[in-house]
Structures are given as structure tokens and as C-alpha cells.
Amino acid sequence: MSEWKAKRFWKETTHEATEGGWTIRLDGRPVKTPAKVALVVPTEDLAKAIAAEWHAQEDVIQPLTMPFTRCANAAIDRVATQRDAVVEIIAAYGETDLLCYRAEQPNELIKRQAAAWDPILDWARETLNADLTTHSGVMFGTQPETALRALFAHVDEMTPFQLSALHDLVAMSGSLVLGLAVTKGRIDSKTAWDMSRIDEEWQIEQWGRDEEADELAEKKREEFLRAEKLFRMV
């Protein structure tokens, strides 16, 4: 039996202002999320991006080619309905932030981590009021409660759409500090991605590249950069 696939049924894709933000219409009918809630986004820029994704669909609807639509669906159906839990999940990354776990050897890797990560931790201390402690090796090290509370406060001030973007930045980098540095304009997502890949790139230098691993990393990089675009649009 062939798998059922949703097919394009509309001719015109538009976006327009509505109560609470902007919506997308297909032949005048509003688009809804998978949970059957009206897809209403906070800015016209995001509405335009989503409308462009729907307009680009041809005979069969391909959800994987509609990343901003999927992000909006997640923000509405999942993040907004359980916001406190999402804030907790994101803020918890501060307890095991990538930037705080340093190599014990070799010296060259230690130097690379310090050169890239120390200035961002200094920024977190000075700007976010989060003075995090670094640890050598992979064993868990505790962080000051004052720092964790400060980081939590910065996460908790965000809207569901902003949280959706921040979650991707943090989860894919392994660093709450890097995610906040991107959202607050300290660095861009390209720089943050490179910083999060220092250990991996070191290993590649030692052992050589793997084509399949490179393809997967590039897909994740594209998602990471897209998360910053989403944050800027909302």
C-alpha cells in the first residue's frame, strides 16, 4: 500500500495582519498548526518567510523543506503550552555548559579552548552577571547558584518564539552561554557554531575527515544558523 501524502490544494498564498500578530492564508483560508490552532506569528518578517515556504510547495507538501513553519508550529503547540518546563530545560544547560569543561591535554587544544571560550565567559560574568567556573576533564563540576539563577532569569524573559530559537542554539551547541551570546548580539551564529566545534575539529585534524560525519555536521550547522534568523525575525 502506498503511503498517503498531503498534496497542494491551493493556488494563492498570502500573509496578513490579524489579532495577535500575522497569519498565513491559502486561498483565503488560514493555516493551522498540527494541533489545529491558528498559526499566528508575532512579526511580518516571519509571516513572509512562512508564506514563502508554502508558496514553494509543488504537487506534494514536503514538511522538511518548511523549517520556519515547523519552528512556528513548535512555538505555538509545544513551547507556549508548557513554557515553564521549556525554560527549565534550556536553563539547565548552564549547569553543564560546554565552555566550562576544558581539555586536560594536549596544550594546543587547551590554548584553543581558552582563546575562544574565555572571552565569552568574561562577557557572561560582566553582562549576564553569571560567573561560571571552569573544570578540567569530563567529570561533573558544580556551578555557583547565583550564576545559575542569573542565567535562568535571562532565559525566563523570552517569548515562546524566542525560546524556540534559543532552544535550538543551546541544544545544538551544548552551551547556554553561547546561545545567549548569539541572541544578545555578542557574537553571530557562525562564530558560535565554530566555537562549539573546537573539540571536533581538533579530532578531525588528528584523524582525518569523514564524509558522512561532515554532511551531518553541515546539516546541523544550517539548522543552527537558521535558529538565529528565527530569533532575529521575532
Q: Where are the alpha helices (H) located in 59-127, listed in sequence order?
A: 67-74, 83-91, 107-127
- Quick one: 205 exposed, middle or buried, by C-beta within 10 A (0-12, 13-18, 19+)? exposed
Nearest to 178 by CA among 196, 160, 198, 205: 196
Cα Rg of the chain, angstroms: 20
Strand positions, DSSP E, the chain: 13-18, 21-26, 29-30, 40-41, 101-102, 135-136
Res 4: pLDDT: 39
CA distance 128 to 147: 9
Give first-to-last CA distance, the chain, whole Å.
42
Res 210: pLDDT: 86
The CATH classification number of 13-65 equals 3.30.2180.10
Nearest to 46 by CA among 15, 76, 80: 15
| Cβ neighbours around 185 below 10 Å, total | 8
pLDDT in tens, the chain (234 residues): 344 357 768 789 999 999 999 999 999 999 999 999 999 999 999 999 999 999 998 888 888 899 999 999 999 999 999 999 999 999 999 999 999 999 999 999 999 999 999 999 999 999 999 999 999 977 888 999 999 999 999 999 999 999 999 999 999 999 999 999 999 999 999 999 999 999 999 999 988 888 899 999 999 999 999 999 999 999
Nearest to 64 by CA among 2, 6, 25: 6
The CATH classification number of 82-233 equals 1.10.3580.10
Three-state SS letters, 163-179: HHHHHHHHHHHCCHHHH
pTM of the model: 0.92
Domain boundaries, the chain: 13-65, 82-233
- Quick one: 45 exposed, middle or buried, by C-beta within 10 A (0-12, 13-18, 19+)? middle
Q: Please tell me the total number of residues recorded for the chain in this structure.
A: 234
CA distance 113 to 55: 44
Res 108: pLDDT: 96
Residues 6 or more apart in contact with residue 51 via CB below 8 angstroms: 13, 14, 15, 24
* Structure confidence by residue, pLDDT tens digits, 156-209: 999 999 999 999 999 999 999 999 999 999 999 999 999 999 999 999 998 888
